[in-house]
Amino acid sequence: MPPMSDLTRTPKQLGAIIQRNRKKRGWTQTELGRHTGLRQATISLIETGNPAARFDTILAVLAALDLDIRIEPRKVLSMEDIL
């Protein structure tokens, strides 16, 4: 079975994906912070979809969770497909 892929188009959606993957590992926000060198408060802001999060910070969080970003042409989808 291929790995599950998530579609994200907003900071809030990305935050939910990060939170879901953190919880799958059984990590608290503090533990994810230790793996990234970030404060728990920063992880919280990312997970709640704060649009001011720096891209390099997001990349560090994704790397700690063994996640990648893939850029591809946008497909026309219904709202149900991206929520």
Which amino acid type is present at position 13?
Q
The better pLDDT of the pair 74, 13 is held by 13
HSE-up (13 A, CA, CB side) for residue 59: 4
CA distance to 44, 60, 67, 77, per residue, from 70 (Å) = 24, 15, 10, 17
pLDDT beyond 70 at 79: no
Which residue is listed with tokens 């560090």? 60
Q: What angle do CA 70, 76, 24 make, to 5 degrees?
A: 45
Predicted structure pTM score:
0.84
pLDDT digits (tens, 9 = 90+) for 43-75: 999 999 999 999 999 999 999 999 999 988 987
CA distance 38 to 32: 8
Q: Which of 6-10, 20-24, 33-37, 72-76 has the lowest mean pLDDT?
A: 72-76
